[in-house]
Amino acid sequence: MPVEFLISALVTLLVVVDPVGLVPAFLAVTQERADARTDAFRRQVALRACLIAGAILIGAALIGDWLLRQLGITLPAFRIAGGLLLFAVAFEMVLGLRTRHATQDAEQAVEEHFDDIAAFRLAIPLMAGPGAITATILLAARPGSGCCSRSSSW
């Protein structure tokens, strides 16, 4: 696997997931649980959210191409739709709307008292949302990625 591809994939996922922009949402979600073990609780929530989001993205990389074929969606059509989705995410990031939406979603989750805040609202959809899943499938299907290579072309 070429180093250029790994760097490109890392940068793409860092931009789409936006870990710096998720900090306000994370703080809003974990703020309700203010007690003596807040730091330990926050560490535990962060670790679980990262593991869940990582598992979702790895699963998307491994079965995304197969799922698209089963649904009859061609890779070029998915690239166009994914490009539009990634453009919308980037547009929100430029205007600063993404952070505001993430914080509002996180506060709403706290108000509704979800049991597992690491899975819902942090891992899904903030970390492993539609943009990250789309980017992962497209990166995994890229020729020379070393992942999910197929012998026939679309």
Length of the chain: 154
Mean confidence (pLDDT) of the chain: 80
Place of tokens 């203010």: 34
Rounded distance between C-alpha atoms, residue 79 and residue 32, angstroms: 40
pLDDT tens per residue, range 81-108: 988 988 887 777 777 766 666 666 656 6
pLDDT at residue 153, as a whole number: 42
pTM of the model: 0.74
Residues sharing a CB contact under 8 Å with residue 138, sequence separation 6 or more, in sequence order: 78, 79, 82
